[in-house]
Amino acid sequence: MKTDLTRLDMVVNVRFPGVKAHGIQIAAMAEALADTGLIVDVVVPRRFPYRAVDAWEHYGVRRNFKICRIANIDTIDMVKPSAQRFPFLMQSVTFGLRALSRAAVDRSVGLLVRDHYTAEILVGGLRAADRRRLAAEIHSLPELRARRLQVVKVLRKLRAVVVISEGLKDDLVEEGLDPSNILVARDGVHLERFENMPDVAEARSHLALEDRPTVVYAGQLYEWKGVDVLVEAVGRLPGVQLLVVGGDRQNLPRVEALGQKHAPGQVIFTGNVSHQAVPFYLAAGDVVALPNSARERISRKYTSPLKLFEAMASRRAIVASDLPSLGEVLRHDSNAYLVAPDDPTALAEGIDQLLQDEALRTRLSEQAKLDVQPFSWSERGRRVANFLRGRLVVGAGWS
% of residues, the chain, pLDDT over 70: 97
Separation of alpha carbons 70 and 74, rounded Å: 11
Q: What contacts 286, CB < 8 A, 6 or more positions away?
A: 200, 213, 214, 215, 316, 317, 354, 355, 361
Taken in order 67, 382, 116, 20, the sign of the CA dihedral is negative
Q: pLDDT digit string (tens) for 239-285?
A: 999 999 998 888 999 999 999 999 999 999 998 888 889 999 999 99
What is the CATH number that goes with domain 2-188+377-395?
A: 3.40.50.2000
Asked if residue 118 lies in contact with residue 137, where contact means CB atoms within 8 angstroms, the answer is: no
- Are the C-beta atoms of 29 and 12 separated by less than 8 Å? no
Reference 188, options 337, 307, 42; nearest CA is: 307
DSSP element (H, E) containing 68: strand 66-70
50, 20 contact by CB (below 8 A)? no
pLDDT tens digits, one per residue of 287-323: 999 999 999 999 999 999 999 999 999 999 999 999 9
The answer to whether 2-188+377-395 and 191-374 have equal CATH topology is yes
Sheet holding 182-184, edge to edge: 66-70, 39-45, 7-11, 110-113, 134-138, 160-163, 182-184
Mind listing the pLDDT tens digit for each residue in 7-61?
A: 999 999 998 988 888 899 999 999 999 999 999 999 999 987 655 789 999 999 9
Q: What is the mean pLDDT of the chain?
A: 93
* Residues of the chain above pLDDT 90, percent: 84
DSSP 8-state code for residue 199: P
**What pLDDT shows up at residue 1?**
41
Taking residues 368-372, report their average pLDDT.
98
- Confidence category of residue 209, pLDDT binned at 50, 70, 90: very high
- Structural Rg of the chain based on CA atoms: 22
Q: Which of 373, 370, 367, 319 is nearest to 341 (CA)?
A: 319
CA–CA separation, 289 and 274 (whole Å): 19
Task: Kindly report the number of other CB atoms within 10 A of residue 107's CB atom.
Answer: 17
- pLDDT for res 3: 59
pLDDT digits (tens, 9 = 90+) for 385-398: 999 999 999 975 54
Q: Per-residue pLDDT tens for 76-119?
A: 878 887 888 888 899 999 999 999 999 998 889 999 999 999 99
Beta bridge mates, 68: 43
> How many residues would you count in the chain?
399
Which pLDDT score, from 0 to 100, does residue 53 have?
Answer: 83
* Residues in a beta bridge with 119: none
Summarize pLDDT for 168-187 with one digit per residue, the tens.
Answer: 999 999 999 999 999 999 99
Q: Where are the domains of the chain?
A: 2-188+377-395, 191-374
Better-scored residue on pLDDT, 272 or 360? 360
Architecture of the domain delimited by 191-374: 3-Layer(aba) Sandwich (3.40)
Reply yes or no: is the peptide bond before residue 253 cis, omega within 30 of 0. no
Instruction: Please state the pTM of the whole predicted model.
Output: 0.93
Band of residue 399 on the pLDDT scale cut at 50, 70, 90? very low
Query: Residue 131: what are its φ and ψ, rounded to 5°?
Result: -65, -15
Give the pLDDT of residue 272. 86
